[in-house]
């Protein structure tokens, strides 16, 4: 028995926990206590579950563990941003980023070890795709980062924008979102969860039909298929037209909008013509645009845009009554900014 790995209950859903407890011939309320202990009270050891009584605790201890992804190192930026490097197993590293702000904290989490999409401008895309993260590894990043959270009274936003393409790990990501959003557990409102995709159209269509729907962010990054084909290779499979069609059909609750992320790359997609074309493409949608000046990384040969070009691009959108923010880079000094996550 000693050699048998214990099953990790971080990531288990309410039904799984209920089935496990039923298998141990324990009453249903025990399952609810355990679920709340893991996700709402965030207990880290069976000994902390005092309400279960010693005999049950001992039985659980022998078979089940409560593990968050193991932290290898934490890098802290001058601006307070913290980059967590996790080592899931030798050679399998992922990252998550904790971004404190005045009124809220944001955690940015990963969904895969590496990424198969291979966008030209993204450091993660230069890594080989190794595997999908499990549900427990996805929610475990939030739990591990929050353990470190000084002012828990602040609102928490979760952005699924770290390493990997979330819609290519659809089932585990959806299970993780349901766990995060559950009011009896982690209690992160779906309005405060944002999933970012490079444009996996079947995934967007499936997401639209889910009972719990996060905010949707689309990494658009180009205004013509010719340019997008080179920057975001899955555009060859699902082009701009197909992608925006799926976005137009995406059900939005009142006051919700789709976010379009646009990484500005010097001389590639940052011209006034691009800005006008972008405004036209997005016509009629409830949206906002996040302009992200390219963050340089050693593995990337592209160059950031001139600052004036960024402002000019923004102005063209604003003049067309489009909300357009320039995303201030956080944590660039510790390689924690967008597109810099390379598991180092
Ligand atoms: N795979 C998903 C989520 C992770 S990438 C996606 O592509 O949406 C998160 C965001 O970082 C995307 O909007 C992407 O366009 C942006 N990004 C990637 N590399 C970047 C870089 N070098 N500089 C700035 N932003 C980058
Ligand atoms: Fe993957 Fe997103 Fe990076 Fe593209 S931008 S390589 S989809 S993580």
**pLDDT tens-digit series, residues 207-233:** 999 999 999 999 999 999 999 999 999
Q: Whole-prediction pTM value?
A: 0.95
Query: Is the confidence at residue 188, as pLDDT, over 80?
Result: yes
**Quick one: which atom of ligand 1 is closest to the CA of 163?**
4
Which-ligand-closest: CA of 118? 2
Query: Is the confidence at residue 151, as pLDDT, over 70?
Result: no
Residues in contact with ligand 2 (CB, 6 Å cut-off): 115, 117-119, 122, 124-125, 163-165, 198, 219
* Catalytically active residues, by annotation: 95, 338
Q: Is the CB of 263 under 6 A from ligand 1?
A: yes
Please give the pLDDT value at position 332: 77
Nearest CA to ligand 1 atom 24: 294
CA 44 to centroid of ligand 1, rounded, Å: 32
Instruction: Tell me the pLDDT band of 102, cut-offs 50, 70 and 90.
Output: confident
Residue 232 vs residue 153, higher pLDDT: 232
Please give the pLDDT value at position 154: 78
Q: Is the CB of 194 under 6 A from ligand 1?
A: no
Q: Is the CB of 329 under 6 A from ligand 1?
A: no
CA 295 to centroid of ligand 1, rounded, Å: 10
For 245, residues 6+ apart whose C-beta sits below 8 A from its C-beta are none
Residue 227 burial class via C-beta count within 10 angstroms: exposed 0-12, middle 13-18, buried 19 and up: middle
- For all residues of the chain together, what is the average pLDDT? 93
Summarize the confidence of residues 41-51 as an average pLDDT.
95
| Most confident listed range (120-129, 130-139, 248-257, 294-303) | 130-139
The β-bridge partners of 287 are 258
Which residue of 231, 263, 337 sits with most ligand 1 atoms within 8 Å of its CB, as the best mutation to test the pocket? 263
Tell which phi-psi region holds residue 286, choosing left (phi > 0), alpha (psi between -120 and 50) or beta.
Answer: beta
Instruction: Tell me the pLDDT band of 317, cut-offs 50, 70 and 90.
Output: very high
Query: Is the confidence at residue 3, as pLDDT, over 60?
Result: no
Nearest CA to ligand 1 atom 7: 198
Please give the pLDDT value at position 4: 67
Nearest CA to ligand 1 atom 26: 339
β-strands 258-264, 287-293 pairing: parallel
Summarize the confidence of residues 166-189 as an average pLDDT.
97
Could you give all domains of the chain from N- to C-terminal order, each with its CATH number? 7-65 (1.10.150.530), 71-334 (3.20.20.70)
């Amino acid at each position: 028995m000693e050699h048998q790995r214990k099953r990790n209950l971080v990531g288990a859903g309410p039904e799984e926990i209920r089935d496990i407890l039923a298998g141990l011939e324990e009453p249903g309320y025990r399952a609810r206590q355990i679920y709340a202990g893991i996700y709402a009270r965030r207990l880290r050891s069976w000994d902390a579950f005092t309400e279960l009584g010693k005999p049950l605790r001992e039985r659980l201890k022998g078979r089940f563990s409560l593990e968050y992804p193991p932290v290898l190192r934490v890098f802290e930026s001058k601006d307070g941003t913290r980059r967590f490097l996790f080592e899931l197993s030798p050679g399998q590293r992922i990252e998550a980023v904790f971004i404190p702000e005045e009124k809220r904290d944001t955690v940015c989490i990963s969904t895969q070890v590496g990424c198969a999409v291979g966008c030209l401008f993204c450091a993660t895309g230069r890594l080989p795709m190794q595997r999908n993260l499990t549900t427990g590894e996805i929610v475990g990043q939030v739990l591990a980062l929050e353990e470190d959270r000084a002012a828990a009274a602040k609102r928490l936003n979760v952005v699924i924008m770290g390493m990997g393409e979330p819609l290519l790990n659809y089932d585990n990501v959806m299970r993780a979102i349901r766990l995060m959003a559950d009011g009896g557990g982690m209690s992160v409102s779906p309005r405060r969860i944002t999933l970012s995709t490079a444009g996996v159209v079947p995934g967007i269509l499936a997401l639209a039909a889910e009972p719990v729907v996060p905010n949707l962010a689309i990494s658009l990054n180009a205004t013509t298929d010719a340019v997008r084909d080179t920057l975001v290779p899955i555009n060859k499979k699902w082009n701009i037209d197909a992608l925006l069609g799926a976005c137009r059909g995406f059900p939005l609750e009142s006051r919700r909008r789709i976010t379009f992320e646009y990484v500005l790359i010097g001389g590639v997609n940052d011209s006034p013509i691009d800005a006008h074309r972008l405004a036209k493409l997005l016509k009629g949608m409830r949206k906002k645009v996040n302009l992200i000046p390219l963050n340089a990384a050693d593995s990337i040969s592209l160059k950031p845009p001139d600052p004036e070009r960024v402002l000019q691009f923004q102005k063209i959108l604003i003049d067309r009554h489009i909300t357009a923010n320039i995303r201030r880079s956080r944590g660039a000094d510790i390689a924690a900014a967008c597109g810099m996550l390379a598991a180092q």
